[in-house]
Structure 1
């Protein structure tokens, strides 16, 4: 083994020793940054505000849970941006050098940050959605359209699915952050994937209605897949398994690319 190889070689057991510490480190870094809590506050405000307004126009029982989870279409960008800034913030301040010095197993750095972000976003989103459901329940009941808490398939499962989707959007941001290392570039890419691409595909579909694959392409974008994963509907879009596979594939591809890039460059 050459000197360079010995310098970069880390025993497999080192991963198991350093990974729990890396998780704690990433959790501390995430929760002590003011921007994290500003993002959470904005997600909560948007979710509750949109749900409250939607509840005022409800006409059927199915609309109640839709009012709770519908804001994901707006808050998904904030989840992605939080994932981006959790990575690019370290690159902009140079802290990434300290992180990689403390843990030279670069794959574990990526895995720890992704794990912490996903868990944090899932828990925070779950609490926000549950609080939103509790908030609109009295208003819905007063309109004669109560939230169906006694049917987990129509209430709890969509809330869990929406929370999982928010975690996956955050992971997409993490992957793009490591890939691009630029906060502005990664945020622009995240916004492009989540918001701009659906608009472009919709416009192309309206101009080329005879080309079926263009219309189907939109179903495989994260925003559309999230709708089908959270509230699957027969005869519209993807089935639930297809939607989850699509929703997972986007951050998985970004994280895989990030892993290859992080391992191959100096910082």
Structure 2
């Protein structure tokens, strides 16, 4: 895009963002997705907290987890809960392909790059806020169950919740980009499931270092290292950058697909 084109598209972006924001909140599927995510987070956090508390009180010392942070339980709960957030990112684009309303969107905003950028801004903002809400739900569900086996330092827990929100925002944008490329919700979910879980788990073979390092570069693993604050195999900020790189790559591919194919 040259300087003239960039100047022309800038004024359209705020209007496109406002339109995408309105569209996202005007459909019931968004609200059902938010409710489902909150329920899954509450149930999963409580379940993991039960496992930790029971492990410390049964007769098998191998199960003793000791005192754990509530934030770590919330992070562990994302393995399942994140798919509600992926649905939000996918809904922003695949629903318009399914209903044909993308044609109206592109008529109102002819620049396809601007449309996708507006969708990414809205998806990222909504999933970040949703991530904070999910974190609070997880803390509320896990803390009473853990009891004396859990601790929730204010600074540490706040940092965990911000990391959760950042992870979910980037995963939401990643889902948006994948949806823009593949157009269909079902195929997009399969690809995202493979990227976030199936492929890295398949690569993580004991004793095969090169496969482990490849798995560490996948978005779900990188995001997990970032949220956990691991220093191995790379600092947390590297995990964040790797995840952001996947999100940007997906958006770039989505922009390419949106410009070269009919709506």
TM-score normalised according to structure 2 size: 0.86
Report deviation, 1:48: 1.4
Deviations 1:132-160 (A, max 9, x none): 323433444x42633112xx1x2111110
Of 228, 237, 250, the residue aligned with 1:241 is: 237
Show the counterpart of 2:153.
Answer: 148
Report deviation, 1:215: 1.8
**Conserved 8 A contact 2:45-2:141:** no
Report deviation, 1:30: 1.0
Q: How does 1:1-267 map to 2 (within 5 A)?
A: 12-56=6-50, 57-58=52-53, 59-140=65-146, 142-143=147-148, 145-149=150-154, 152=155, 154-202=156-204, 205-206=205-206, 209=207, 211-234=208-231, 236-267=232-263
**Conserved 8 A contact 1:117-1:170:** yes
Residues 144 and 192 (structure 1), Cα distance of their counterparts in 2 relative to 1, 3 Å cut: closer
**Where in structure 1 are there 5+ consecutive unaligned residues?**
1-9
Report deviation, 1:11: 5.2
CA RMSD of aligned residues (A): 2.0
Q: In 1, distance between residues paired with 2:133 and 2:177? A: 25
Deviations 1:69-128 (A, max 9, x none): 211111223322321232111011110110001001111100000110110011011012
TM-score normalised according to structure 1 size: 0.85
Q: In 2, distance between residues paired with 1:82 and 1:238? A: 30
Please identify, of 236-245 and 216-225, the stretch whose mean Cα deviation from structure 2 is larger.
236-245
Deviations 1:42-69 (A, max 9, x none): 2111211121122232454443221122
How many residue pairs match? The answer is 248
